[in-house]
Amino acid sequence: IRIRGRVEGSRIKGSKLGFLHLRQPFNESIQVVVAKANTENSVAAASGAPPQSSTPSSLLDVARTITPESVVDVWGYLKASPRPVTSVSCAHLELHATRLEIVTVAETPLPFPLRDVNTKLDTRLDHRVIDLRTASTGAIARLSSMVNTAFRSFLLAKDFVEIHTPKMIGTPSEGGSSVFKLDYFGKEGFLAQSPQLYKQMVLMGDIPRVFEIGPVFRAENSLTHRHLTEFVGLDVELVIHNHYSEVLNVLEGTLVTILQTLERDGAVLRNLALGAVAGTSNSGGATAAATMPTPIQSLLTQDIVKALKLGSYEENIASQDTYLGYVSSHTSPFPVLRMPFDSAVQLLIDNGVLTSHVDDFNTAQEKQLGNLIKQRYGVDVYVVDQFPISARPFYTMPLPSNPLRTCSYDMYLRGEEICSGAQRIHDPELLQERMKACGVNVALIQDYVNAFRYGAWPHGGFGLGLERIVLFYLGVPDVRMVSLFPRDPKRITP
Ligand code: ATP
Ligand code: AMO
């Protein structure tokens, strides 16, 4: 057989015997035996073997010149290993070389040693192509793809239409502060902070359920563990018939599907991503097994629902009380905890985290809420709804029973925000009123307001951050680790 792969490392023992570790994407590796005696024997044994480009005695000389990460072709035959080679994935077989050709030479030294778990994240990001070859970063890229695919498949099966909206736009979509400006042939333009306005407009064009997977730009000029200046937005918008809980049902179904897919198909990748596979060839990666988080306890079980006597969402929402917790009553086998903002604040006050009411949570308060909810309900995923109007964007629908609260929600994973959404205002007059109150220039955004003038559907939606899902699912410390080529205030290359 012939195998084309990268030489991860080599050991040449004198003039008679050498070993190469040959690696193929993704994380498959085998030991190649380059033995003078074996080579000569094999040439006779392997009938129909390709013509020798190097004489058998020079194979070892070739092997000696190969630099780490070079791509080579090895012809030879497979043989059982005398004892398992624990440092490669194919431990029980060896490839005995009869011919060896260097396809491309890797320069040396490498920007960093692939196996070095102490290499700093910045060095890895400076040389992301090399870093991608490590089992950890390679696994994270594949897990992100799995999240994407689960999101897309779930929505396509529910009659959603995939759309692509413009990323160069004439007005900020989420308010002014964190927007990148661009020079559009002498006019002012902006990089889209979200597909928000366009996904709503498409609905008014009678495509009642849409989603988009695309880049989102935020001029967040600060370095945090969870903010990028460009991230992948997973956006959804749909017409609603009675209540914004219809959108929450879709959101919860989407997230549950993503988590179930990761649990079902992503276990091996997750372990590779966290560097937790013993003896993994080229495990490298920016994580250490010591940081391995506990698996997600994402879902309320029916047992917990019964034991805590949590009521159904529809019943509770109808009585307009404030609850410490309630669950959706939709048909998912895994109800997701939902809690109104005021109840979440009360929980923080009762536990001494807050001394008085607040209008929004900061990151620390979010984390503490996550801990309290985990203690009380045993879950890592939950929704808080009915946020104060002051904390939400201009397009958010006020709660009919209390105009200081809104038909809006955030979803959290391990105590950190992964999603925001809301029912939207579909009455153009109310919309303009809210724009003025929020300091949004109505003139700049007239096309959007006009979209609601010719018969508008009540509607709502949400936006998830792809990198944040992977970040908090894995429990790794920095969002840059889970973005292919991350962008932050200090980094626009590679
Ligand atoms: P989004 O902006 O998409 O809603 P977010 O996580 O930034 O997501 P916010 O509601 O804006 O959520 O902010 C929640 C908290 O996160 C803030 O109170 C603040 O503590 C923190 N935070 C938000 N943006 C930044 C930032 N750029 N730098 C540092 N901290 C931030
Ligand atoms: P929001 O601004 O909350 O809502 O963004 C939605 C989700 O996107 C992710 N996210 C980020 N991820 C990485 N880096 C960032 N700087 C960053 N900012 C946000 C988070 C967040 O929950 N138009 C609304 C959505 C809607 O209502 O449909 C919006 O953009 O996971």
ipTM of the complex: 0.84
Is 468 noted as a catalytic residue in this protein?
yes
The pTM (predicted TM-score) of the whole model is 0.90
Task: Say whether 251 sits in a helix, a strand or coil.
Answer: helix
Q: Which residues contact 122 (CB under 8 A, 6 or more apart)?
A: none
Residue 475: Cβ within 10 Å count: 18
Residues at CB less than 6 angstroms from ligand 1? 220, 222, 224, 227, 360, 362-363, 417, 420
Tens of pLDDT along 225-248? 999 999 999 999 999 999 999 999
Is 420 noted as a catalytic residue in this protein?
yes
Q: Which residues contact 460 (CB under 8 A, 6 or more apart)?
A: 237, 238, 240, 244, 246, 247, 397, 407, 421, 422, 423, 424
Give which of 416, 421, 422 is closest to 467, Cα–Cα.
416
Strands 187-191, 168-169: parallel, antiparallel or unpaired by DSSP?
Answer: antiparallel
Q: Within its chain, how far is the Cα of 94 from the centroid?
A: 37
Task: Say whether 368 sits in a helix, a strand or coil.
Answer: helix
What is the CA(473)–ligand 1 centre distance, in A?
Answer: 19
One pLDDT digit (tens) per residue for the chain, 494 residues: 999 999 999 999 888 999 999 999 988 999 999 987 655 434 333 344 454 554 544 799 999 999 999 999 999 999 999 999 998 999 999 999 999 999 999 999 999 999 888 999 999 999 999 999 999 999 999 999 999 999 999 999 999 999 999 999 998 888 767 999 999 999 999 999 999 999 999 999 999 999 999 999 999 999 999 999 999 999 999 999 999 999 999 999 999 899 989 988 999 999 999 986 544 434 444 444 435 556 676 566 677 777 677 777 777 766 654 556 777 765 565 678 899 999 999 999 999 999 999 999 999 999 999 999 999 888 889 999 999 999 999 999 999 989 999 999 999 999 999 999 999 999 999 999 999 999 998 998 999 999 999 999 999 999 999 999 999 999 999 999 999 999 999 999 99
Tens of pLDDT along 108-140? 999 999 988 899 999 999 999 999 999 999 999
Which pair of structure tokens corresponds to residue 55? Answer: 């004489």
What is the CA(181)–ligand 1 centre distance, in A?
Answer: 21
Q: Within its chain, how far is the Cα of 304 from the centroid?
A: 29
What is the CA(217)–ligand 2 centre distance, in A?
Answer: 10
- Kindly give the number of the ligand 2 atom that is closest to the alpha carbon of 235: 28
- Nearest residue by C-alpha to atom 9 in ligand 1: 362
- Nearest residue by C-alpha to atom 13 in ligand 1: 362
- With the most atoms of ligand 2 within 8 angstroms of its CB, the residue from 420, 423, 480 to mutate is 420
Give which of 17, 14, 12, 3 is closest to 93, Cα–Cα.
3
Planar angle of CA 184, 188, 191, nearest 5 degrees: 75
What is the CA(239)–ligand 2 centre distance, in A?
Answer: 21
Is 152 noted as a catalytic residue in this protein?
no
Q: Which residue has the tokens 């999603």?
A: 419
Planar angle of CA 399, 460, 150, nearest 5 degrees: 135
Ligand at minimal distance from the CA of 421 is 2
Give which of 38, 4, 1 is closest to 18, Cα–Cα.
38
